[in-house]
Structure 1
């Protein structure tokens, strides 16, 4: 019997003791975050699937793992098909699967790991969902890592651009206007932004795991392990921030009753609702009020992002020069190590903003491929290599993807055609000008049209928000076929990353980060916006079919490459500068 089957059998035994027939296990922790500490990697431990988005559903006679289009190939490789069915979230939603196979079952869930919004589809499907007093996975995960306890440190105003007091006053004013006494926050990114603090509790994202209650007088109760706080950080937080250990969370919530308490049903676990309602509080369901101001970067944060992208652009150009000379003498894992070394040459570099996606040949077609010592593949001549990576600097977060041809021969027309269509979509979005009130959904087709015109497409969104020395994936705005009613506003930073993936052959993705800016063009009574491209690194001209480009597209490329050279070249040594000169040489329309 396989390890996966053994763990499933053990889980089913615990569920039976708890009076449950089945179980739903989301990928996430008590903060519902994308990146979690090792102690919260329950889905990976149970199923083997390490993607950052997914869910497992367990019944007495069958079990399934679900994820989205970014991870389908990875899921097929990591998950034992003898123990688990593997399902696409869009094609077979978990609630539909459970209703089909376990409609008469009592399905358990951990109320600390799922939001009210996420639970709703299961209830709407008529399933008998029961909150369990403890997570059954924890009962069988005998070597579970300890909870993290890294220092929580100040994020100075020279990088944050606004004091915590000003941010708290704004939130408190909104609470008073709504007649609410308090706000519950369980998203550490919102708390980090609100209190101007950072930490190292989870990989790739500078967060301290904690909870917070914001009161209508701008005071905050911060529930965090006291061991994380130095005297300096306590002074930074000030007298208006009261420190409590996380073990006091339930009592702190109960003490809010019978007041009106604001809770986001999407970003807070349903456990918060259950505790507050039982205590007699009135729950006001509203979105997290930190999300939008956090997404709209102030002038200091915008300038910090430009600085981060220049620093990162220097590292990327050094890496691309190195890769041009060494691609076929290295492997996927070594390439990520080299890129990290180039970034680490900056004293401001903190860590990757996510695990680098380094995929050569067929591995590049795995949208969120993560190279391991077991999967590591030598980069071969005359193939496509994709590198998607990012960095954390105290003044900004980066995310960039480049697709490279390894040579020495020229790529065939099929590869060049696909690359050029992706590039045309990238340019179309980068050049977009749009009126106030437009959502990212309205712009998504711009990045896909050149691909659609050739009968091609990609199974992921086109753009996500980026934090300011916070999460590389940040809401509430995005650019996607999935509609979100969030208008793009000046100060937002989003990615521009169309792609194309041919399973078993190659993957192409081209990503820059875009800053939404007011446009000088527009009618007198109608405001328009446009994008400022922040990322600074050339595209691989060997893969560009210039004959397929419009003159305006060639002009955009040449202007972009001229700016890359102007800003990055002064920071390079002579060999790398020579390489960049060639990489940024103007193209001519075919």
Structure 2
């Protein structure tokens, strides 16, 4: 659910109230991330502190509120959006990774500055970096006792009370007991007593459960401490536990109150405990050390097994995509008919797409806020439409829609860019779209040695844009969960420059990735073509080792109106024709009448 957009006067009053609270605590500033106690990308309404204080509704960013200045830190995806949503009369804008909060404080903080932070919202590495900068200026980073935003946020929502839900082995492909046994073997091999699992999707995967606590991501607010004997302590609010869940978890999982988690960490004296520094807030290792435990920095042991989908999860992905693809086909037909009439807007289009998805009764949710982007909004890769930003979809313009569904057997994520007629698209738009398509096909067709990283493959998707002096400012591919988070690590296909997380991760069989090159002309239009793929063993394996390839699982027509067939090689045409023949084969049995006729035409060979 979107937070109601406050007016500038309300936001100014909130900023003033926060500064008064900071003054009471003797703080010169406070750091506000988009985060929760689990380092989640998408957070529940109760944790939307950055949006509450600033109005910024993006999914990545942070702020620094000083007594005399307030600064927003966002990356290139949000350069335009942050300026539209955050009042320049009260806020300054900074771009990352060119700068960071630590760098800004080094250059701008006064000597002796005391900057507050919430240890339940930041990792330890961040806290150490800021501490080093402030210490050099005679200041300090101060761990707050209770978040100061919460102290002034009178109508702050409570955390979700929704029940945690069992996720059956028939869908998960492996039992929780098997997964816990695998982790126990790893702990024993590493001479560790336990590991803390704090990422919500890791908890859900390990215990085979799902939830309704975070919009569009089926997770439940909880923690796990997994032990070397295969047992686990599961920390969750008692109101969220049902008899069915208790039976599902079994005797080897001890259910404990969520509020007891910090105390349990402090009770592990003498234990060697693994903590993932990238996925754990600073308060977790701090509590362990205060209690006398030995903290060992190790990657969350569920991360790679969760990313490498088993045969049941892979088939679930295929099945979910076929149903989702039919909904997309109905939607694309709808746009082709209604778009040229000039009566659609972004909100109406998004609502109609949801209606088509809801025709499938197993739809649980969408997998993220639909990016329904007309004209200049299509140039914002992570645009989110609301009543204030809603634009009409004009005839003879580009329309981009990035969306996905959450089904019990799989999570989908698809982007299609279409030309809204009736006239033919401009030559420039066709050229850019075709270059994006060529990059998409190049990546989809690539065979590569086992151990290749996403950073090594990223250039394939960009090369035809680069040849024209063009590029795009986001990654080419992210991991996707199995009825879990639509953005899942550790793998990522992106430029390796700048130390981007995941670009050095070897791609492994079973991983699901997106393939989504794009192009964006600020203020005019944007283009993105996105399918999901599963990494599979290739028949090219042999004397030179094991090779892998991508199996495309997303099927929906790509707009041929925007393609210059003369720019395609014979191999690219073969891919297009094979892809659309398969699309027709999979989707046609679910469609009828005008939609089926439209599909047959849209899937004709090029």
Match of 1:502 among 521, 537, 544: 521
Out of 362, 379, 385, the residue aligned to residue 399 of structure 2 is 385
Say if 2:108 is the partner of 1:89: no
Encode CA deviations 1:293-341: one digit per residue, 9 max, x unaligned. Answer: 0000000000000001001001100111111101133111111111111
Corresponding residue for residue 543 of structure 2: 524
Aligned residue for 2:264? 252
- Does the aligned pair in 2 maintain the 1:118–1:266 contact within 8 Å? no
Task: Assess if the C-alpha contact under 8 Å between 1:349 and 1:391 holds in 2.
Answer: yes
- TM-score normalised according to structure 1 size: 0.98
Q: Deviations over 1:332-371 (max 9, x none)?
A: 1111111111111112111100000000111111111111
Superposition RMSD in Å: 1.2
Deviations 1:537-589 (A, max 9, x none): 011000001111111111110110000001111110121111011101100xx
Contact 2:105 2:134 in 1 (8 A): no
Query: Among 42, 45, 50, which residue is 2:49 paired with?
Result: 42
Quote how far apart the aligned CAs of 1:160 are: 0.2
| Secondary structure of the structure 2 residue equivalent to 1:125 | helix
1:321 corresponds in structure 2 to 333
- Where does residue 427 of structure 1 map in the other structure? 441
CA distance, structure 1, for counterparts of residue 569 and residue 227 of structure 2: 56
Count, aligned residues: 587
Alignment of 1:170-569 (within 5 A): 170-327=182-339, 328-482=342-496, 484-569=503-588
Q: Indicate yes or no: 2:604 matched with 1:585.
A: yes
| 2: CA distance, partners of 1:535 / 1:479 | 18
Of 358-367 and 5-14, deviating more is 5-14
Residue in 1 that maps onto 2:5:
none
Partner of 1:117: 125
Separation (CA, whole Å) in 1 of partners of 2:70 and 2:452: 41
Q: Indicate which of 77, 89, 112 corresponds to 2:84.
A: 77
The structural deviation recorded for 1:103 is 5.2
Q: Write out per-residue CA displacement over residues 352-401 of structure 1, whole angstroms, 9 at most, x where no aligned residue.
A: 00000000111111111111112111111100000000000000000000
| Contact 2:531/2:552 (8 A) holds in 1 | yes
Deviation at 1:513, TM superposition (A): 0.4
| Secondary structure in 2 matching 1:71 | helix
Q: Distance in 2 between matches of 1:322 and 1:285?
A: 52
Structure 2 CA distance for partners of 1:546 and 1:124, relative to 1, 3 Å? farther
Shift of residue 523 of structure 1? Answer: 3.3
Q: Distance in 2 between matches of 1:109 and 1:62?
A: 17
Structure 1, unmatched stretches of 5+, are none
Q: Taking structure 2 as the reference length, what is the TM-score of the superposition?
A: 0.95
Q: What secondary structure does 2:31 align onto?
A: strand
- Tell whether the 8 Å contact from 1:57 to 1:98 is kept in structure 2 after alignment: no
CA contact (8 A) 1:466 1:472 kept: yes
Q: Give the SS at the match of 1:385.
A: strand
- Regions of 4+ moved over 4 Å: none
Contact 1:4 1:83 in 2 (8 A): no
1:14 correspondence with 2:5: no
In 2, Cα distance between equivalents of 1:51 and 1:400: 19
**Gaps spanning 5+ residues in structure 2: where?**
1-7
Distance 1:124 1:561 in 2: 56
Matched, 1:31 2:43: no
1:504, CA displacement in angstroms? 1.0
